[in-house]
Amino acid sequence: MKKIFVNTKTGCTSIFMFLLIVSCFAQDKKLEFGIEGGPNISVIYPVNGYTKIGIGFKAGVSFGFNFSKIFSLRTNISFERKVATYDAIQFADEEGMFWGTVKGHTNYDYLVLPVLIRAGFGKKVRCFANLGPYIGYLIQAKGPYVPITYSPNPNETYIFTDNYAKKIDFGFTAGIGLTIPLGDKLAISLEARNDLSLQSFWENSPTKLNTTNLLVGFSYGIK
């Protein structure tokens, strides 16, 4: 009969590590639902001589799953308006004759979904950092800029969602903030979040939008 020898020290260590991991991820496991929103600023990059900062906003619902006291998974579905602002764009007709200068901005309205890993520290008032990818879908692009050589009215507003603007946006999100409890289940959060797009928002153009959001959120926790 074969004899099986078990290393007691190694076995106890393995069991201890397993229980430690399980207990760590079992602590304070709960779901969080909420709303969040606030203003944002968008900057076109690479920077050129006629682009400026655009001011928009973001608002939506949020969801969180706490793995432990430190780590959690965060996501939200939001409506976000990114604004591309420009100054002194000159237009000419088909023969090259100058006919006007357009100043204004273009609104890019997206549905945005990030998937973030959050690390939080503290007891009551907690500081946190978020990091992860995001994807956005363009609902509408609207503004006075028309990407053709001639238009009879440069001050008219155009909707060009299906013509020249790209429908999909994606990139990386990073943010820092803090949460303040308002009771056993309610909490308020403040966050500065930056979305760095990796996708140009215009056909045949390298220009992208870097958007910084200032978000205020209210969440409700379920244990």
- Model pLDDT for residues 151-179, shown as the tens digit of each residue: 445 555 666 666 667 889 999 999 999 99
Smallest CA-to-CA distance from 211 within 178, 169, 177 is with 169
In Å, how far from its chain's centre is CA 115?
Answer: 9
Residue type (1 letter), 84: A
Inter-residue contact 139 to 162 (CB < 8 Å): no
**pTM for this predicted structure:** 0.74
- Alpha-carbon distance 123 to 117, whole Å? 19
pLDDT digits (tens, 9 = 90+) for 23-45: 444 445 589 999 999 999 998 88
Residue 62 has pLDDT above 90, yes or no: yes
Q: Which position has the token pair 């308020």?
A: 188
Inter-residue contact 55 to 40 (CB < 8 Å): yes
Which neighbouring-strand residues pair with 63? 33, 75
Residue 9 has pLDDT above 90, yes or no: no
pLDDT digits (tens, 9 = 90+) for 105-137: 788 999 999 999 999 998 889 999 999 999 999
Q: Residues 142, 171, 58, 48: what is their CA dihedral angle, to the nearest 10 degrees? A: -50
pLDDT digits (tens, 9 = 90+) for 165-216: 788 999 999 999 999 999 888 999 999 999 999 988 877 778 888 999 999 9
Going 132 to 138 to 143 to 149, the CA torsion angle's sign is positive
- Alpha-carbon distance 38 to 146, whole Å? 29
Verify cis geometry, omega within 30 degrees of 0, for the bond prior to 46.
Answer: yes
Question: Confidence class of residue 150 from pLDDT cuts 50, 70 and 90?
Answer: very low
Q: What is the pLDDT of residue 148?
A: 42
All structural domains of the chain: 29-222 (2.40.160.20)
- Alpha-carbon distance 178 to 187, whole Å? 10
Question: Confidence class of residue 95 from pLDDT cuts 50, 70 and 90?
Answer: low
**Tokens for 164?**
């020249």
